[in-house]
Structure 1
Amino acid sequence: MYGILAPIDAGWERASRWPLVIAKRSSAREKLRMNRIRDAAALAITLAAVHAYAGPTPSAEPIDPDLTAETRSLHAALQAMTAAPTIQFGQHLADWASAVQNTGQVVISDWEATAGSRPAFHEWDWIVALNGSAGNYTTNFAAVNRIRQQYEEGAFIGFCWHLPNPALEGQPGNNYDRHDDEPAVPRLLPGGDLHDHYVDNYLDPFADMLEQLHADGTPIPIIMRPYHEPGFLQVNGSGQATAGFWWNWSSPEEYMALWRMTVEYFRDTRNLHNLLWAYSPNWPSSQNYYDRWYQADYVDICGGDQYRSPFDQNPEFSTPLSYAITRGQADGKIVAYTEMGAQGLAQAGGAGNDWWHGRVYAELAPSASDVAYALTWANWGADQFYIPPPNAPAAARADFNAFLATDEINHFAEMRAEFGDIYATVARCSSSDIAEPIGVADAFDAIEYARRFGAGCDGGTDSPIDQSDLLGFQTAWLGSVNSVSPDGNDAVLVSVTASSEGFVAIQSTRAVSASGFAALGLFVEPVSQSFSSGVLFAQTGPGWVWHEGPVAGVATAVENALSIDPQTLAHPSDVRGWGVQLYGANAFQNATLRISPLTEPAQCGAADVAAPIGVLDGDDVNAFMAELLAGCQ
């Protein structure tokens, strides 16, 4: 561990319904931002400490010179992880797919239920991020909300691409492994007959989805892993290809042109500067595909993929990994085991009971000082899982937990303890210092300034809920939700239809923490239609314990406050579902509700520096920061 600095519990924020003011209680998200400033110092210590390890620290700059500050920090943290003697372990779709729950309705991941911990790395997929089909792809906001939650938790996040073959669009059974001896890649490149169609109907919707991945306006850093396992085709005795992704049905030159086109589209055309790019050939041809299909100027992370049988006593995971390590060290790149695991654990019985700790660990541990992270595949169901679900035999679950407990393998909490906040950023400025630790004016000074004048503030209520949480509203058990759309910067408009009894219940499963807040609440305003009363409800903890606030009258065209005291919740830091019930409408009545977080401003008594409130407030902090950061680099 590298000595994380003490948390800072002060700050400023833009209240959702008021001018910029100092809040009596800093929000959880604001504390997260401040702690990221703080943890930049810890990250600097980490980067210095890794030089003592056996593994070399990657030196290559990111391929995008204009990365966001948070993404550049993630790149630096991954460099440190590559050299550190630990591997950060993750899973594909851990919070989306399950062996015991319906896909997309996972409440507690199989990983968390089996191990009591969380993955350090979460990888998502094209097939989950978008709904619909070509020409009608739309963003899956349920997935976006889960990703935002993982980012705010502090894990790192990636995307693998399993997209259907654009050359076979509309054909039955078309998916990512359909090629029909029809090379698609040349047709997608500039000048090809499907180039514009591919950009408009495949890349564009995915870029639109990526633009939704932000937290409080900060783009979420993403590891992009498109067109994985290049060149890998299974062939029959006649030499005909029988399986393999459609992008593999190409020459090395065509594949590399497709990769370049994709990177340049997202980076240069769509100006998405929160992306790192991972290349992941498949064993047993990894060395060939690093020699012939790889281009260092378009890759941030050198990876490798391999799956074996749980009956293999020597799975040889170290072999393909060695190719990635060799190439990565030669080019100064981050190194990762981008996919690995056992196919058939569900059918292996006792043969799989020493798979993780007995065999996988023996293969991975010697490379811990050369590899940043490793990923196993999704638990797609009861007959296809890669980590033991909670209903697996006790011996299998104990084996996976023993693997996670080793010194070389980190789950999320261990990664956080070792590397701090991997998104932490600090500006170094040229003017005079007020607060330590950097010695020049920096964001710590703005925090100290806020602390000094915020001491006289009183009043004010913050909210653990923001607009992105409200966009997750859906039908609960009474009436129906017809649509949800943003209204301004903090509210949403919810179109509902009452039940036959005149009731409406809407809920969001966007998890929030109400710990440390004065209230968990919402303003609910029926725009024109009338209701008589309403109540806020919440479900907390692993058991989804039910709570209700006091019933309150609900008037039309008025912001009606519905709330719960967090101190009455069984698990205030783990609110898994919440929403409102409204009563007194006509049967099957259609209504529009304007809903916003319950917040109130804090007023401070000191002198004003900057408009508009007339007292010392958050605008003064902004004015101070503008002067303070004028010399930043």
Structure 2
Amino acid sequence: MKMIKRMNWLILLLFTIVSCSKDSPGVDETEGETGEEIDNTSLSLVDSKATETTKALYANLWVVQQNGTMFGHHDDLIYGRNWYAENGRSDIKDIVGDYPAVFSVDVAEIMDDRSDASDLNDDRIRTIKEARSRGEVIIANMHLNNPLTGGDSWDNSSNIVAKEILTEGSVTQVKYLGWLDKLADFANNLKDNNGELIPIIFRPFHEHTQTWSWWGRSATTQTEFLQLWKFTVDYLKDSKQVHNFIYAISPQLDQAGSKESFLFRWPGDDYVDFIGMDSYHGTNTSAFSTNLRNLALLSEEKKMPCGVTETGVEGIRYTDGIPIMDYWTNEIGIPLSGKEISMVVLWRNKYDPTQNSHHYFAPFEGEATAENFFDLYSMTHILFSKNLPNMYMMPSGIKIK
């Protein structure tokens, strides 16, 4: 069986070598051209006042997905399985000598009542700037505390949180707006080495299809969720003049769904820039492949880039504890081959040097699947930091409204 799987992967590798080069993911870095199919493509952003660098990133997200999928990892530069807040460190780099193309962070502790006490906020800012200096892409979610009950983001005990946020002058609204003010201050002061604002793909209220959060489907009505989304976006871009956000929605689909599954509580095309998918499908490869195809189809229809914004198997092991030795090639690399998906982001590796838990979703030095991960790195359609074109320079053939 292992020999058959190895041969299948080798066939895929030969196919992808013919279709593109690992050193160049199909993008001409001097002119940014990738062929006729993306010439004269017109895209639009939620924020008509988005910075030029933000527009350039958005255009390149569209271009990149025509040629490959960027690999990403949550909190990868902040801590790893056996290290904490070390400059330049990355579990992924430890294995393959290259950084992820996408750096995922959580901005909730910058926003809510934890902001003054968080010991990682300085490191969040430092690592975002480091990722940008290498030309990598930054995406941010928010596990925001419950502004009504004082609980965490998983506190879905009240079904009036969104209603209270939307009630003019309410205590909950005042608190929530204060949290957005801190996010805006963070975004409006987040600058690269040239003094330009750093663009961020911002995905608020992620996994809204699920019931676990105070903004999820069991704690809000459809109308409340849509109003909450629009209220948040409008406040940031209009009231607080945040113009370096690309707004991403990210429903969670673990089982095979339809193209319409991604439109659950859709805020409208004028309020979404990027179509994400959180997918904790385990080794249900068929479901993952089906959802990838539908995601790519919807992306093309709406002319919005798309990506897998969270995925992975905790511990990269089966339920009996045996490592999934071919996980990276068979469950990530092969399903993404031929799909126009801009990114695939693995969830975090919890800092746990005593190895008391298996809360990690990417390999690290000494982890059982690290060798297979190097095979994923060798796949030409999976892009890491060194494979990226200039993501912050406008490519030719793309217009942003």
Alignment of 1:217-228 (within 5 A): 217-228=195-206
Q: Could you tell me how far apart the structure 2 residues matched to 1:57 and 1:314 are? A: 35
How far apart, in 1, do the equivalents of 2:341 and 2:384 lie?
Answer: 15
Measured on the aligned residues, the alpha-carbon RMSD in Å equals: 2.9
CA distance in 1, matches of 2:144, 2:198: 22
Report how far residue 79 of structure 1 moved: 1.4
How many residue pairs are counted as aligned between the two chains? 360
In 2, Cα distance between equivalents of 1:222 and 1:297:
18
- Contact 1:260–1:298 (8 Å) recurs in 2: yes
Distance apart, 1:328 and its partner CA: 1.9
Instruction: Identify which range, 189-198 or 400-409, moves more after superposition.
Output: 189-198
- Equivalent position SS for 1:123: strand
How far does the alpha carbon of each residue in 1:86-124 deviate from its partner, in whole angstroms, 9 at most, with x for none? Answer: 11111111111311123x456521111122111101011
Provide the rounded CA distance (Å) in 2 between the counterparts of 1:314 and 1:324.
15
What is the identity, as a one-letter code, of the residue corresponding to 1:366? Answer: G
**Take 1:390 and 1:158, find their aligned partners in 2: how far apart are those partners?**
25
**Equivalent runs, 1:315-330 vs 2, <5 Å:** 316-330=287-301
Q: Which residue of 2 aligns with 1:45?
A: 31
Question: Identity over the aligned pairs, expressed in percent?
Answer: 23
Please say if 1:380 is aligned against 2:350: yes
Paired residue for 1:114, among 59, 71, 95?
95
Secondary structure of the corresponding residue to residue 285 of structure 2:
coil
Aligned to 2:214: 246
Residue identity opposite 1:101 in structure 2: W
- The one-letter code sitting in structure 1 at the alignment partner of 2:36 is H
Q: CA deviation at 1:321?
A: 2.6
Residue in structure 2 matching 1:337, options 305, 308, 316: 308
Q: Are 1:268 and 2:261 counterparts?
A: no
Question: CA–CA distance in 1 between the matches of 2:119 and 2:367?
Answer: 36
Q: Is the 8 A contact 1:124 1:160 kept in 2?
A: yes
Structure 1 SS opposite 2:247: strand
Matched residue SS, 1:329: helix
Counterpart residue number, 2:70 = 88
1:198 aligns with 2:183: no
CA contact (8 A) 2:59 2:394 kept: no
Corresponding residue number in structure 2 for 1:69: 52
Name the counterpart of 2:270. Answer: 297
* Stretch deviating more after TM superposition (379-388 or 277-286): 277-286
Query: Could you give the per-residue CA deviations for residues 174-223 of structure 1, whole angstroms, max 9, x where no partner exists?
Result: 21111114331111114372453234431111111212210242100111
The CA distance in 2 between the partners of 1:337 and 1:138, in whole Å, is: 29
Q: Determine the structure 2 residue equivalent to 1:166.
A: 147
3-state DSSP of counterpart to 1:317: helix
8 Å CA contact retained: 1:137, 1:205:
no
Aligned to 1:612: none
Query: Cα distance, 1:135 vs. partner?
Result: 9.0
Aligned-partner residue type, residue 64 of structure 1: D
User: 1:569-584, aligned counterparts within 5 Å?
Assistant: none
Q: Which runs of 5+ in 2 are unaligned?
A: 1-19, 396-401
1:148 maps onto 2:129 in alignment: yes
**Which residue identity lines up with residue 73 of structure 1 in the other structure?**
A
What is the alpha-carbon distance in structure 1 between the residues aligned to residue 35 and residue 312 of structure 2?
Answer: 28
Once the two structures are overlaid, the 10-residue window that deviates more, 121-130 or 217-226, is 121-130
Distance in 1 (alpha carbons) for counterparts of 2:160 and 2:176: 17
Please tell me whether residue 183 in structure 1 is matched to residue 165 in structure 2. no
Residues 147 and 172 of structure 2 are in contact (CA less than 8 Å); yes or no, is this contact kept in structure 1? Answer: no
Q: Return the offset for 1:155.
A: 0.6
Q: Please report how far the alpha carbon of residue 137 of structure 1 lies from its aligned counterpart in structure 2 after TM superposition.
A: 8.5
CA deviation digits over 1:433-479, x for unaligned, max 9?
Answer: xxxxxxxxxxxxxxxxxxxxxxxxxxxxxxxxxxxxxxxxxxxxxxx
- Check whether the contact 1:50–1:83 (CA below 8 A) recurs between aligned residues: no
Secondary structure, aligned partner of 1:246? coil
| Cα deviations by residue, 1:204-246 (Å, 9 ceiling, x for unpaired) | 111112122102421001110110111312xxxxxxxxxx111
Q: Which has the larger radius of gyration?
A: 1
Helix, strand or coil at the partner of 1:158: strand
2:334 matched residue in structure 1: 362
Question: Which structure 1 residue ranges, 4+ long, deviate > 4 Å from structure 2?
Answer: 41-44, 134-139, 346-350
Specify which structure has the bigger relative contact order, considering alpha-carbon pairs within 8 angstroms and separated by 6 or more residues.
2
CA distance in 1 between partners of 2:318 and 2:291 (Å): 25
**Structure 1 residues 200 and 314: CA distance shift in structure 2, 3 A:** closer
The answer on whether the counterparts of 2:111 and 2:179 sit within 8 Å (CA) in structure 1 is no
Contact between 2:346 and 2:361, CA under 8 Å: does it hold in 1? Answer: yes
What letter matches 1:259 in structure 2? W
- Cα gap change, 1:307 to 1:190, in 2 (>3 Å): same
Structure 1 unaligned regions, length at least 5: 5-40, 234-243, 427-633
CA distance in 2, matches of 1:346, 1:96: 24
**Bigger helix fraction:** 2
Q: TM-score, normalised by structure 2?
A: 0.81
Q: TM-score, normalised by structure 1?
A: 0.53
CA distance 1:410–1:211, change in 2 (3 Å): same
| Aligned 8 A contact 1:231 1:250 in 2 | no
